Amino acid sequence: MRTEFNFINNLKSKYSLESVGDDCAVLPKDGKTDLVLTADLLVEDIDFRLDWTTPELLGHKALAVSLSDVAAMGANPVWAMLSIGVTERVWKTDFIDRFYEGWFMLAKQFGVELVGGDVSRTPDKIVIDSIGGGGVKRGEAILRSRAQPGDSVFVTGELGGAAGGLMLLESGFRYADTNKKKNELIAKQLRPIPQIAIGKQLSSNGLATAAIDLSDGLSSDLHHLCRASGVGARIYMEDIPVDPNLHELIMPDDARIDLALHGGEDFELLFTGNEENISRLNIPGVMHIGEITANVGIIELTRAGKTTVFHPLGFRHF
């Protein structure tokens, strides 16, 4: 079966779509600024479950996933639109008011203005389309497609926490659990923080050659970046920043590492650039995890001196 990624690539080539395939589309706005645009569809029981979250957290996450795409371009979020469809039963509750409260809490934090959207009825499930727009200095948006052999590979933050939070939710744990560390994992899943400030820092000094946000998981997203750039990569297992709270989960160490490698929705940034230049920026929490190579499409994973080929096992819808 074709994957969603193949489908989009085919569409791109069939209809000559120049702006499709990055975290955001980049369009000229004025002489000094480019406009970035993104849309993220969230569907009940596919992307979220109502009994695992609250309306406020869902509102937060709906906006956060789009802001994370804006962050991956190194852009500044400016406005958003929100299309939401709910059942008549949900409409009669306070769900939608609480959803917007959570949405606006995050919007306020980043100065994002709601400018439009749509409200619709659905027969069954809740659907949300989160649309984000932002600005970046003309020509300075960080694309997925400019990584070069010899660049180093970096990630922000710690990885696997959101996937660990998902496992806890699946096992019956809930947000506001009394265990602080477990709750931090669940918060990573339900209340991700878009890395806007780091994205802007990376674009404004022009030192990142390519970037993507970690939504599907490190293995998948690194493949996306390498495919777009026509390069390969080598990653050093020992340098992957595994979320320390994952020690709360009773599992073998390797399973924890797998969560960091393949677990989605951390919404951290994965980016490439010259190691010396990036290190000089001294951004807290940025880890150097590997190098870009000329082995087109091949991602290698080095662990205790042994190198294996690393397959994308992250999230995909199809």
Nearer residue to a second copy within complex by CB, 1 or 304: 1
Determine contact, residues 120/84, Cβ cutoff 8 Å.
Answer: yes
Triad 249, 253, 258: Cα angle to 5°: 90
**Span from 37-45, 176-184, 247-255, 285-293 in contact with a second copy (CB under 8 A):** 37-45
Contact 301, 307 (CB under 8 A): yes
Interface with a second copy: number of residues (CB under 8 A):
59
Q: Kindly report the number of other CB atoms within 10 A of residue 148's CB atom.
A: 15
CA dist 120 and 90 (Å) reads 12
Binding mask 42-81 for a second copy (x = CB under 8 A): xxxxxx-------------------------------x-x
Please say which residue, 161 or 194, places its beta carbon nearer to a second copy: 194
Report how far residue 270's alpha carbon sits from residue 263's, in angstroms, rounded to the nearest whole number: 14
Which helix (H) or strand (E) segment holds residue 195: the answer is: none
- Residue of the chain from 49, 94, 119, 307 that contacts a second copy (CB under 8 A): 119
Q: Which is nearer to a second copy, 44 or 248 (CB)?
A: 44
Give the nearer residue to a second copy in terms of CB position, either 31 or 139: 31
Q: How far apart are CA 19 and CA 8, in angstroms?
A: 12
Tokens read off for 25:
């589309």
Interface with a second copy by CB under 8 A: which residues?
A: 1, 4, 7-8, 11, 15, 17-20, 24-25, 27, 29-31, 35, 37-47, 79, 81-85, 88, 91-92, 96, 100, 104, 113-125, 127, 129, 131, 133, 317-318
